[in-house]
Structure 1
């Protein structure tokens, strides 16, 4: 698999929002709906094993639609004006299914940018192996990752610190934006976790404590709102809309 490269947008929907409305005051991040890999379904072909092409399950598609209904029902000031979406199929599908729920409500869709830095943590040569398989086949690598969970880089892949570095460019893009007061990121659990590191200026031990308690669930929503010091977390891994 070739890693996505480039500085920003892989796909942009023309924006009709005016300039100089100020920086974004509201930021959401949603993890994609349940994927086949999340459900423990083993890929049957090399194409199905390609991380960029992993699809949603029927449950995941329902989760994406439920998220869309929740989003469309929000007050106008609480709906996103811009969506930044991972280029991976499971994330793009999540947004398309969510966006389809806007139609019956008459609510306008936000601008869309498929952003090539929002992909999931790339595990390189170990991309298609489960944690238990890595432990069994590559015990030294497994031990190294256990010793340094955020800094370990699998062969040909990324560490969580690498993910944070590229997401710093996404955060800077949001800071430069003066057209959209509210932004939604559609991506992956590793992206949500490392966004917390960047936006909340968290230490490694704080990030590890969050991960220990549980990563963002499928189609869960995390929310930050801007105050005088920057973005402040107001909810993490919210799933009430999926009930």
Structure 2
């Protein structure tokens, strides 16, 4: 029975390092081509060392990973630090939010070039879908389906390696946070690269947040 769930955001990528400058016109690469920076690789190694320092009985029994290379590479580097590798699965439902036709632009650039879409997003930040894309509620639905399966058939300790949108919507799904609180979390800043967020589950009362966006293990 699932009792402990952790989520790691992948290490830094060139897109993350570039920041949110709306003047940047360089198209983003497809998600299948976004890899870690050198700093991102160091962060992934730091994640592995964090887990390697735990007692054997506190290591994950199962790792579920986004299909995107930046997440897969994060776990590849992390698991190299462990004495033994837990069961590993790719789960396509853990990919980052699909921004549709805007996926080749930074979010800031897309808002600058498409003010009508920016206005629609401002009216409903969690429900807004960019053209041919998905909303944060869509992310919550697929993440919620993963959690439901884990509750029914999962092992005791599970680690998810994915993206900031996945971590954010895990908080809503697991903690039943209202939309206003989710938006406030996003406003303060999403989970950072290489961060760890963790929850403990009581079968009677549900999930309790233990740590959000913990980066104390990172050396860079």
**Which of these residues, 184, 190, 194, is aligned with residue 215 of structure 1?**
190
| Structure 2 residue 20 is matched with structure 1 residue 25 | no
User: Are the aligned partners of 2:9 and 2:167 in contact in 1 as well (CA < 8 Å)?
Assistant: yes
Instruction: Tell me what 1:74 maps to.
Output: 54
| Structure 2 residue 144 is matched with structure 1 residue 168 | yes
Counterpart Cα distance in 2 of 1:132 and 1:232:
34
| Structure 2 residue 209 is matched with structure 1 residue 233 | yes
Q: TM-score scaled to structure 1, two decimals?
A: 0.84
What CA deviation, in whole Å up to 9, does each residue of 1:78-134 have, x standing for no partner?
Answer: 2101000000000000000001111xxxx2211001001000000000001123322
User: Are the aligned partners of 2:2 and 2:156 in contact in 1 as well (CA < 8 Å)?
Assistant: yes
* Residues 124-143 of structure 1 aligned to structure 2 (within 5 Å): 124-143=100-119
Instruction: Tell me what 1:40 maps to.
Output: 18
Runs of 4+ with >6 A deviation: 41-44
* Residues 36-185 of structure 1 aligned to structure 2 (within 5 Å): 36-40=14-18, 49-102=29-82, 107-178=83-154, 180-185=155-160
User: Are the aligned partners of 1:26 and 1:224 in contact in 2 as well (CA < 8 Å)?
Assistant: yes
Instruction: Tell me what 2:180 maps to.
Output: 205
User: Are the aligned partners of 2:64 and 2:91 in contact in 1 as well (CA < 8 Å)?
Assistant: yes
| Structure 2 residue 171 is matched with structure 1 residue 191 | no
Secondary structure at the aligned position of 2:18 is classed as coil
User: Are the aligned partners of 2:99 and 2:132 in contact in 1 as well (CA < 8 Å)?
Assistant: yes
Q: TM-score scaled to structure 2, two decimals?
A: 0.93
Q: CA RMSD in A?
A: 1.7
Secondary structure at the aligned position of 1:240 is classed as coil
> Aligned residue pairs: how many?
214
Secondary structure at the aligned position of 1:117 is classed as helix
User: Are the aligned partners of 2:25 and 2:109 in contact in 1 as well (CA < 8 Å)?
Assistant: no
User: Are the aligned partners of 1:200 and 1:231 in contact in 2 as well (CA < 8 Å)?
Assistant: yes
User: Are the aligned partners of 1:43 and 1:49 in contact in 2 as well (CA < 8 Å)?
Assistant: no
